[in-house]
Structure 1
Amino acid sequence: MEERRRSKRTEMSSTLMVKRLDQGDMQEVSIDIIDVSPNGVGFLCKEVLSIGAVYESKLRIWTQEVLHAFLQIVRIEMKGDSYTYGAVFIGMSESDAARIRVYQTINDEK
Protein backbone atom coordinates (compact mmCIF):
# COMPACT_ATOMS: atom_id res chain seq x y z
CA MET A 1 0.00 0.00 0.00
CA GLU A 2 1.33 3.44 -0.93
CA GLU A 3 1.98 5.81 1.98
CA ARG A 4 -0.14 8.93 1.51
CA ARG A 5 0.38 10.70 4.81
CA ARG A 6 1.79 14.22 4.59
CA SER A 7 3.36 14.18 8.04
CA LYS A 8 5.16 11.67 10.23
CA ARG A 9 2.91 9.88 12.71
CA THR A 10 3.96 9.44 16.34
CA GLU A 11 2.45 7.05 18.86
CA MET A 12 0.52 8.71 21.65
CA SER A 13 -1.25 7.14 24.59
CA SER A 14 -4.49 9.00 25.13
CA THR A 15 -8.23 8.69 25.17
CA LEU A 16 -10.64 11.35 24.07
CA MET A 17 -14.30 11.95 23.57
CA VAL A 18 -15.74 12.92 20.20
CA LYS A 19 -19.15 14.38 19.31
CA ARG A 20 -20.63 14.31 15.82
CA LEU A 21 -21.52 17.80 14.64
CA ASP A 22 -23.90 17.21 11.74
CA GLN A 23 -26.57 15.38 13.75
CA GLY A 24 -28.77 16.66 16.54
CA ASP A 25 -27.82 13.93 19.02
CA MET A 26 -24.59 15.04 20.66
CA GLN A 27 -23.65 11.48 21.67
CA GLU A 28 -20.11 11.21 22.97
CA VAL A 29 -17.94 8.18 22.20
CA SER A 30 -14.56 7.29 23.65
CA ILE A 31 -11.61 6.56 21.36
CA ASP A 32 -8.09 5.26 21.97
CA ILE A 33 -5.42 7.09 20.01
CA ILE A 34 -2.92 4.96 18.09
CA ASP A 35 -0.86 7.74 16.53
CA VAL A 36 -0.98 11.45 15.87
CA SER A 37 0.54 14.00 13.51
CA PRO A 38 -0.03 17.73 12.98
CA ASN A 39 -2.41 16.77 10.15
CA GLY A 40 -4.41 13.92 11.65
CA VAL A 41 -4.90 11.08 14.07
CA GLY A 42 -5.31 7.31 13.97
CA PHE A 43 -7.50 5.74 16.63
CA LEU A 44 -9.51 2.72 17.76
CA CYS A 45 -13.20 2.86 18.61
CA LYS A 46 -15.80 0.19 19.30
CA GLU A 47 -18.58 2.41 17.94
CA VAL A 48 -19.36 2.72 14.24
CA LEU A 49 -18.47 6.21 13.00
CA SER A 50 -19.27 7.49 9.51
CA ILE A 51 -16.64 8.13 6.86
CA GLY A 52 -16.69 11.78 5.82
CA ALA A 53 -18.40 12.84 9.06
CA VAL A 54 -16.92 15.64 11.16
CA TYR A 55 -16.56 15.17 14.92
CA GLU A 56 -15.65 17.65 17.63
CA SER A 57 -12.87 16.39 19.89
CA LYS A 58 -10.82 17.36 22.89
CA LEU A 59 -7.37 15.77 22.77
CA ARG A 60 -5.37 15.63 26.02
CA ILE A 61 -1.68 15.81 25.17
CA TRP A 62 1.38 14.79 27.21
CA THR A 63 1.52 18.18 29.00
CA GLN A 64 -2.08 17.56 30.16
CA GLU A 65 -3.24 20.48 28.00
CA VAL A 66 -6.42 19.88 26.02
CA LEU A 67 -6.44 20.66 22.31
CA HIS A 68 -9.86 21.44 20.86
CA ALA A 69 -10.02 20.09 17.31
CA PHE A 70 -12.42 18.91 14.64
CA LEU A 71 -11.81 15.52 13.01
CA GLN A 72 -13.05 14.34 9.64
CA ILE A 73 -13.06 10.55 9.24
CA VAL A 74 -11.17 9.53 6.07
CA ARG A 75 -10.45 5.82 6.67
CA ILE A 76 -12.19 2.93 8.43
CA GLU A 77 -10.90 -0.61 8.92
CA MET A 78 -12.34 -3.48 11.00
CA LYS A 79 -9.79 -4.78 13.53
CA GLY A 80 -10.95 -7.53 15.87
CA ASP A 81 -13.97 -6.36 17.84
CA SER A 82 -13.37 -2.66 17.14
CA TYR A 83 -12.67 -0.32 14.26
CA THR A 84 -9.47 1.46 13.31
CA TYR A 85 -10.07 4.99 12.02
CA GLY A 86 -7.98 7.59 10.29
CA ALA A 87 -9.03 11.22 10.58
CA VAL A 88 -7.67 14.56 9.47
CA PHE A 89 -7.77 17.67 11.61
CA ILE A 90 -10.07 20.37 10.27
CA GLY A 91 -9.09 23.94 11.16
CA MET A 92 -6.53 23.10 13.84
CA SER A 93 -4.68 26.22 14.95
CA GLU A 94 -1.00 26.51 14.06
CA SER A 95 -0.09 26.74 17.76
CA ASP A 96 -1.83 23.41 18.48
CA ALA A 97 -0.16 21.76 15.47
CA ALA A 98 3.18 23.10 16.77
CA ARG A 99 2.53 21.40 20.13
CA ILE A 100 2.18 18.07 18.32
CA ARG A 101 5.43 18.70 16.39
CA VAL A 102 7.22 19.45 19.68
CA TYR A 103 5.92 16.15 21.09
CA GLN A 104 7.24 14.33 18.00
CA THR A 105 10.66 15.95 18.36
CA ILE A 106 10.91 15.01 22.03
CA ASN A 107 9.66 11.49 21.31
CA ASP A 108 12.25 11.04 18.52
CA GLU A 109 15.07 11.97 20.91
CA LYS A 110 14.18 9.10 23.26
Structure 2
Amino acid sequence: MKEERRRHKRLDLDVKIELEKLDEGGVTTVKYIKADVSDLSRSGMGFKSNYKLDVGTFYDTQIQIWTKEVIDAVIEIVRCEEKENNIYQYGACFVGMTETDTLKIDIYQLFNEE
Protein backbone atom coordinates (compact mmCIF):
# COMPACT_ATOMS: atom_id res chain seq x y z
CA MET A 1 0.00 0.00 0.00
CA LYS A 2 1.29 3.45 -0.95
CA GLU A 3 2.21 5.86 1.83
CA GLU A 4 0.15 9.06 1.72
CA ARG A 5 2.55 11.99 1.32
CA ARG A 6 0.06 14.77 0.67
CA ARG A 7 -0.09 17.54 3.22
CA HIS A 8 -3.70 18.47 2.48
CA LYS A 9 -6.80 16.55 1.47
CA ARG A 10 -7.34 16.58 -2.28
CA LEU A 11 -10.75 17.14 -3.82
CA ASP A 12 -11.97 15.83 -7.14
CA LEU A 13 -12.21 18.55 -9.74
CA ASP A 14 -13.04 18.10 -13.41
CA VAL A 15 -11.72 21.11 -15.32
CA LYS A 16 -9.36 21.74 -18.20
CA ILE A 17 -6.47 24.16 -17.84
CA GLU A 18 -3.70 25.55 -19.96
CA LEU A 19 -0.13 25.58 -18.69
CA GLU A 20 2.34 28.23 -19.75
CA LYS A 21 5.97 27.23 -19.19
CA LEU A 22 8.21 29.46 -17.09
CA ASP A 23 11.91 29.24 -17.88
CA GLU A 24 14.95 30.43 -15.97
CA GLY A 25 14.85 34.12 -15.19
CA GLY A 26 11.04 34.13 -15.22
CA VAL A 27 10.87 34.11 -19.01
CA THR A 28 7.58 32.68 -20.22
CA THR A 29 7.46 30.29 -23.13
CA VAL A 30 4.38 31.11 -25.16
CA LYS A 31 3.32 27.52 -25.61
CA TYR A 32 0.05 26.46 -24.08
CA ILE A 33 -0.24 22.90 -22.87
CA LYS A 34 -3.73 21.57 -22.30
CA ALA A 35 -4.36 19.43 -19.22
CA ASP A 36 -7.26 17.83 -17.35
CA VAL A 37 -7.22 18.48 -13.59
CA SER A 38 -8.30 15.45 -11.58
CA ASP A 39 -7.83 16.71 -8.02
CA LEU A 40 -6.94 19.86 -6.12
CA SER A 41 -5.78 20.84 -2.64
CA ARG A 42 -4.39 23.97 -1.06
CA SER A 43 -0.84 22.70 -1.67
CA GLY A 44 -1.09 21.19 -5.14
CA MET A 45 -3.01 19.38 -7.83
CA GLY A 46 -3.04 16.28 -9.98
CA PHE A 47 -3.64 16.42 -13.71
CA LYS A 48 -3.32 14.45 -16.94
CA SER A 49 -1.93 15.58 -20.25
CA ASN A 50 -0.65 14.04 -23.45
CA TYR A 51 2.36 16.38 -23.27
CA LYS A 52 5.57 15.12 -21.69
CA LEU A 53 6.62 17.57 -18.95
CA ASP A 54 9.83 17.34 -16.96
CA VAL A 55 9.85 17.01 -13.19
CA GLY A 56 11.24 20.20 -11.67
CA THR A 57 9.80 22.53 -14.33
CA PHE A 58 7.48 25.44 -13.56
CA TYR A 59 4.24 26.53 -15.21
CA ASP A 60 1.84 29.42 -14.88
CA THR A 61 -1.81 28.38 -14.89
CA GLN A 62 -5.36 29.49 -14.20
CA ILE A 63 -7.75 27.00 -12.60
CA GLN A 64 -11.50 27.57 -12.69
CA ILE A 65 -13.20 26.13 -9.61
CA TRP A 66 -16.87 25.18 -9.13
CA THR A 67 -17.92 28.77 -8.34
CA LYS A 68 -16.51 29.76 -11.76
CA GLU A 69 -13.86 31.78 -9.93
CA VAL A 70 -10.36 31.54 -11.37
CA ILE A 71 -7.29 30.75 -9.32
CA ASP A 72 -3.98 32.01 -10.69
CA ALA A 73 -1.04 29.86 -9.67
CA VAL A 74 2.51 28.89 -10.48
CA ILE A 75 3.09 25.16 -10.17
CA GLU A 76 6.15 22.93 -10.05
CA ILE A 77 5.92 19.45 -11.54
CA VAL A 78 6.96 17.05 -8.77
CA ARG A 79 5.78 13.68 -10.11
CA CYS A 80 5.19 12.14 -13.53
CA GLU A 81 3.82 8.70 -14.33
CA GLU A 82 3.32 7.52 -17.90
CA LYS A 83 -0.04 5.86 -18.48
CA GLU A 84 -1.27 4.10 -21.61
CA ASN A 85 -1.75 5.81 -24.99
CA ASN A 86 0.89 8.50 -24.30
CA ILE A 87 -1.07 10.04 -21.42
CA TYR A 88 0.91 11.27 -18.43
CA GLN A 89 -0.38 11.66 -14.86
CA TYR A 90 1.29 14.54 -13.01
CA GLY A 91 1.54 15.76 -9.47
CA ALA A 92 2.26 19.43 -8.98
CA CYS A 93 2.85 21.68 -5.98
CA PHE A 94 1.75 25.27 -5.85
CA VAL A 95 4.81 27.49 -5.52
CA GLY A 96 3.13 30.80 -6.23
CA MET A 97 -0.43 31.64 -5.22
CA THR A 98 -2.09 34.49 -3.39
CA GLU A 99 -3.54 33.93 0.08
CA THR A 100 -6.95 34.88 -1.37
CA ASP A 101 -6.75 32.06 -3.91
CA THR A 102 -5.63 29.62 -1.20
CA LEU A 103 -8.72 30.58 0.80
CA LYS A 104 -10.91 29.89 -2.26
CA ILE A 105 -9.61 26.31 -2.24
CA ASP A 106 -10.29 26.02 1.51
CA ILE A 107 -13.86 27.21 1.00
CA TYR A 108 -14.28 24.83 -1.95
CA GLN A 109 -13.15 22.01 0.35
CA LEU A 110 -15.63 22.99 3.09
CA PHE A 111 -18.55 22.90 0.67
CA ASN A 112 -17.52 19.50 -0.67
CA GLU A 113 -17.24 17.93 2.78
CA GLU A 114 -20.90 18.52 3.54
TM-score for both structures, normalised by structure 2: 0.91
Query: What is the DSSP-based 3-state SS (H/G/I as helix, E as strand, rest coil) of the residue aligned with 1:64?
Result: coil
In structure 1, the partner of 2:110 is 105
CA contact (8 A) 2:38 2:46 kept: yes
1:94 aligns with 2:95: no
Q: How many residues align?
A: 109
Query: What is the DSSP-based 3-state SS (H/G/I as helix, E as strand, rest coil) of the residue aligned with 1:25?
Result: strand
RMSD: 1.2
CA contact (8 A) 2:8 2:42 kept: yes
CA contact (8 A) 2:16 2:36 kept: yes
Query: What is the DSSP-based 3-state SS (H/G/I as helix, E as strand, rest coil) of the residue aligned with 1:30?
Result: strand
Query: What is the DSSP-based 3-state SS (H/G/I as helix, E as strand, rest coil) of the residue aligned with 1:96?
Result: helix
In structure 2, the partner of 1:13 is 14
Greater strand percent: which structure?
2
Separation in 2 of the partners of 1:38 and 1:88? 9
Q: How does 1:1-110 map to 2 (within 5 A)?
A: 1-22=2-23, 25-81=29-85, 82-109=87-114
TM-score for both structures, normalised by structure 1: 0.94
Separation in 2 of the partners of 1:15 and 1:25? 20
CA displacement at 1:65 relative to structure 2: 1.4
CA displacement at 1:75 relative to structure 2: 0.2
Percent sequence identity is 39
Runs of 4+ off more than 6 Å: none
